[in-house]
Structure formats: C-alpha cells, structure tokens
Amino acid sequence: MHSTTTARFGRRAFGLAAVGALALAACGSEDAAEFEDAGGSGASDGGGSDASDGGGAAADATAGLPRLDAGFILEDFTKDVTVSDTLQPEKNTVITPTGTLTIDGLQALASVSAEAVELDPETGEAGEEAEFAAADGEVLRAIDLSFTHDGEDDWGAEDGLPPTDISIRAGGSQSHLAEITSDYSSRILVSVPEDGSAALVVSSEGHDQVVDLLTGERQEDDIAAAYYREDRVQEPHHTFPVSIEPIPVLYGGDADSEIDATVSFQATTLTLTAWTEGNGWAEPGGAWLEMAWKCETTIETSLPGLVKAGSFSATASLTVADETTTDEVHADKLNLSPSSNTQERTLIAAVSADTSAATVSMSGTFTVEVDAPRDTHEMDGSGDREFSLEELTVEFPLDDAAPSAQPSDGGGG
C-alpha cells in the first residue's frame, strides 16, 4: 500500500508584506472574499467589540508597544499567552472532498511576548521587556486548526482524491501553509487587518473556500453548498419486492419441473454532495445526488445442465423536479444453472443544492433458455420476464424552509 504523509508545520514566522505573492496554484484563482462585517463574532464573555475591531481599550493597551510586521504569521504556535477574548464562530467547519477542516479555537490577543513569537526582546521606557502588538491597523488572532480525513488511510493523487491545501490571503498576496493528505492539527498566530479582508483559503481541486480570519466564520459558497445541508445522507436500505412467476418445463410434452427466478433490487443510500470523483465540483447553486443501488438475480432449477443461458437488464431511475436520470446494467449469457449474479452500482444525478425530495424507481427484464438434446425438455411458454416496481420517495429536509418539491405518490413497500 502506498502511503503519503504530509509533515507537520515547521516553526516559522514571517510577514505577508515581506514574502510577497506566494499563491499556490492548487489554491485556485478566485478573487479575494469581501466581508461586509468587519467586526468580530459574538465573544463568549461579551467583550467581543474591542477585541475584534482593534479599537477602544484594546488600542489603548498596546499604545507605545513595539509592532510586529504587517501580516505576521507564526506557524506551530505553542506558547502560553494571555488571551483578551475568545470568539465562537458558528460556521467553523470547511468540508472538502477528502475531509473536514475545523476551526477548533479562535482567540483575540492584545500582545505577545518576544519569546512567544521567537523575536529578540525589546525594552520599554522603564527598562522592562516589552511585548509585541499587531501592526498598525491589524489585530492578533490565535487559531487552532484540525483536519479529519474521511478515509482510513493517507491518500495521494494516485488514489484519485485531491489533496486539501490551506493558505492565508491578505494584502494582495497569498502564502501557502500546508498540503494536507492525512489527519492534521496545528495552532497559528496571525496579525490580520481590522477590516476583515484577510482570509484562510481552503482549496481542493481548483475550488477555494474561505474563512474570515477576523471572525473565524466560513463564507457562504454556492458551489460547496450541498456539503453543509443537514440530513444530506439518507439510508433507506429499501428492498423493492419483485414477484417472478416460475417458468414451467415440459418433458415429452408433459409437465416436469419449474425454473425459479428470484430478483432483488435495493436502494441503499442517497447522498447530496458538492463533489464526486468522476464529475468534480457541482455547478454554482447545484449539487450531485448519488444513489448506491444493487440488484441480485438467482436461478434455481432441477435441470442445471439444461438451463444454458440467461440475460438480465436492470434500470434504476432518480426523478427530481421532473428531471429523470437513469443507470442501466445489462448482462448476456449469464449461464446461471443454478447460480446468482449481483451488481452493485452508483447513479449520479445533477440536482439543485436545495433539493428536498427524490423519487426512486426500478425496472428490468429477465430471460432463461432451455437447451436440451433431442428436444426432450422445453419451456412451457416464454422464458422472458419483464417487471417494474413501485416508486419510493426519499426526502431531504431543508434546514430553514419548507420543502421546495412535493413528494410523489407510491412509496414502495
């Protein structure tokens, strides 16, 4: 098994203004996000306004202190520091095709010691060691990040799964922090503009999602929107009942035996997602609806040497807002005598990100043949069977609104 592991951040401190534009190609080319609210989110102790806007008491407390470079960043920030405020962002997760990045903690700091930021100490007017404050027009944030990979092992490009990259975008430049290909965690200290223009950029396969570094809130995204739907995974594990009449077999013109055919269809899971390996990202405002389904055919006969061949076709359909997408499997010459054949499939339909219901239906055909020497055995009638099944409606409750599509009638038993 090939395993790719990304090393943990090395310790480094730098200013974005000093390093210039270091935009990573994998981070995509979308414009920097605009944030209407330059203030912080609500703080846990009610003192969020001074901590998030850099004014008032916070500004007075740092007057006369030495300043860090604009856009200062320190990775793997582990020192204990005095926190002036703890922010609690509501939209603190970023979901990517391979896992979830979480803002586990976000703290506002008025200043930090020289030791904490690995700088030479400076002394104040009274000869004491002075702490460092953010650059003019900026505030300090300590951010705890973690990434949980959806799979069990590390992954890489050869697995067909894109890595997740994280960068910081501010002041017209972008600095790459890490390419994530396994579970990951780190704490970062950043000096960010008070106007909320700095962003943590989370990139995967050419699409950027952004988090406001001032507040820790993820920006709305109409391409990845399906990832943030509640109840976006439904697991009906619904088995559609199929009744197949036995096929009579004659010997010398008289009834001799029967061929029993059993067909089973099942819709196992339906998932709304923003990305699939074969289709990439959804269109803006859209989503992919994946349905895992399977069908199984079993033949039982007392004449195994005479039932020479069979053919089978099955079609699964998903209907959303009057648009139907189908997936079909067809097999010839199955040579089931007796035997069984199982097909596991995935149907993918392009749907709206606010899809509230989908209708599932399945149908198929089945054929058996008897090939007996000297025509001693023959089927009594045709060996062809065709069937269609009752529909099943699966609902995806909308988070904040009534369903936009009415469920259809006829949920299969």
Judge contact between 275 and 288, C-beta under 8 A: yes
* 195-212 pLDDT, tens digit each: 889 999 999 999 999 999
If you average pLDDT over residues 223-246, what whole number do you get?
92
pLDDT at residue number 26: 36
pLDDT at residue number 39: 36
- Direct distance between the N- and C-terminal alpha carbons of the chain, in angstroms, rounded to an integer: 43
For 243-262, letters b (16+ CB in 10 Å) and e give eeeebebbeeeeebbbbebe
* pTM (2 d.p.): 0.76
Q: What token pair was written down for 164?
A: 């997740």
pLDDT at residue number 23: 34
pLDDT at residue number 379: 85
Residue 93 pLDDT > 50: yes
pLDDT at residue number 55: 47
**Which of 122-126, 224-228, 263-267, 369-373 has the largest mean confidence?**
224-228
What are the residues whose beta carbons fall under 8 Å from the beta carbon of 248, sequence distance 6 or more? 255, 258, 379, 380, 381
By percentage, how much of the chain surpasses pLDDT 70?
76
**Which of 148-152, 238-242, 266-270, 397-401 has the largest mean confidence?**
266-270
Domain 233-395 CATH class label: mainly beta
pLDDT at residue number 185: 92
Residue 413 pLDDT > 80: no
Higher pLDDT, residue 93 or 312: 93
Residue 172 pLDDT > 90: no
Q: Where are the chain's structural domains? A: 13-221, 233-395
If you average pLDDT over residues 1-19, what whole number do you get?
37
pLDDT at residue number 44: 34
Using CA atoms, how far apart are residues 358 and 336, in angstroms rounded to an integer? 34
Residue 11 pLDDT > 50: no
pLDDT at residue number 193: 93
* 320-356 pLDDT, tens digit each: 999 999 999 987 765 554 567 788 999 999 999 999 9
The distance between the two most distant Cα atoms of the chain, rounded to a whole number of Å, is 116
Residue 15 pLDDT > 70: no
Using CA atoms, how far apart are residues 230 and 309, in angstroms rounded to an integer? 47
Q: What token pair was written down for 329?
A: 């499997």
